[in-house]
A and B are shown apart, each in its own frame.
Chain A
């Protein structure tokens, strides 16, 4: 432990005694004197304190405004997030509604007497090969679909079910080389067989060169094979030409459906006796 030197210790004691005495003197001063003394001593603090608080006010106002702006900004961000979530939800709901409406629309375009046997299905995927035209739909045997059932889109023939699984089915589309559909020209009643020729087009085969077929003629299913119902729209003739010496006309047909717009289709469930 270190101690203060005695000379300074004595000085400290004297100082201490002096200020203790001063304090006691202040204690003993009459109230009116201490009031006056206090008022005099308080004056600089009062002035400075007032100025300080006055200076604080604008700072407080600015701080309050900043705080309000910060809260408002948070509120705006919260509302924006809510709006964005609602917008997403609305889009999802409208998409779901559009999806359901498209299903209903596909069914609605089927003749009324066949409507009870129709199911709507959504496209699940296209054929991976560019040489083939087929598609997979999300309904299958569980929905009553069987091989050979016609697939319709907006009342037009899209194809025919080729294979069926419990929860999906694969259909050959009009335009595939393996799909042959007996058709009839609406205007001239000329009959032929529709086959795929590649590039998304078809051609009506076995039409004699003397037959009356013109570009723009509409072809419907004839139903003569007993596999497809008659009077389903198939496509439109885009050319009718006679090759020299050939016994049949060359009649390319554009299918009545657009593969790129296929989304939902109606599949007609044929009675078992009509299935191939």
Chain B
């Protein structure tokens, strides 16, 4: 039940990122809702579930983009692992912290994606693409606390906050 809920959440986020946002947002601006789900998962779900689920979320993003399969899966996996490691260091419930985490994560993942793409195909982003990337990262950062707060509230119903003995949150 817990994973079904999570998959539905991922599916909805992927669908919105893939259909509605490109339709209604200005050209090129792409806030990453899948990344927000990954951040939510890494910060709220039990650690033993966070890594596989983040990897699956990255795989879904890989499917919905034209880059190499496994690219975002690897990036989101590493991001989730990093967040799990750094989570005790700061207050992950603070809105500003979430804004910074969301923007930095978006910037890091998309930047790494562009780097991989540049290394593979020799195509590097121009200034306009870089500006759009920064703007998208900013929007993702702003959306992170806005969307993850409601998700935090329903996390219990989604079954994502199951505590296990021995884990320190």
Contacts and interface: CB of A to CB of B under 8 A. Distances in A.
* A and B held together in a complex: yes
Interface string B146-169: 000000000000000000001110
Given A16-B81, A20-B77, A52-B19, A27 B51 contact: no
A56 B16 CA distance: 12
A126 B23 CA distance: 74
Given A26-B69, A38-B63, A4 B47 contact: yes
Given A4-B167, A53-B19, A23 B74 contact: yes
A8 B18 contact: no
A45 B63 contact: yes
Given A2-B168, A4-B168, A34-B69, A42 B19 contact: no
A30 to B, nearest CB: 11
Is chain B's binding surface mostly helix, strand, loop or mixed? helix
A208 B128 CA distance: 113
Given A1-B88, A24-B74, A15 B51 contact: yes
Interface in B22-63: 23, 47-48, 51-52, 55, 58-60, 62-63
A52 to B, nearest CB: 5
Contact of B48 (A3, A15, A44): A15
A7 B47 CA distance: 13
Contacts of B47: 4, 8, 12
A49 B15 contact: yes
Interface in A45-69: 45, 48-49, 52-53, 56
A19 B51 contact: yes
Contacts of A53: 19, 23
Interface in A87-143: none
A8 B70 contact: no
- How large, as a class, is the contact surface on chain B? 20 to 34
A37 B60 CA distance: 12
Nearest to A13: B81
Counting chain A CB atoms within 10 Å of each CB, which of B11, B68, B70, B78 scores highest? B70
A246 interface: no
Contacts of A12: 47-48, 51, 81, 84
A49 B18 contact: yes
B69 A48 contact: no
Contacts of B68: 26-27, 34
In the A-B complex, the 3 residue pairs with the closest CB atoms: A26-B70, A23-B74, A23-B70
28 contacts: A1-B89, A2-B88, A4-B84, A11-B48, A16-B51, A19-B52, A19-B77, A20-B74, A22-B55, A22-B70, A24-B74, A25-B70, A26-B59, A27-B68, A27-B71, A29-B69, A29-B70, A34-B68, A34-B69, A42-B63, A42-B64, A45-B15, A45-B18, A45-B60, A48-B11, A49-B15, A52-B20, A56-B20
Interface of B: 11, 14-15, 18-20, 23, 47-48, 51-52, 55, 58-60, 62-64, 68-71, 73-74, 77-78, 81, 84, 88-89, 166-168
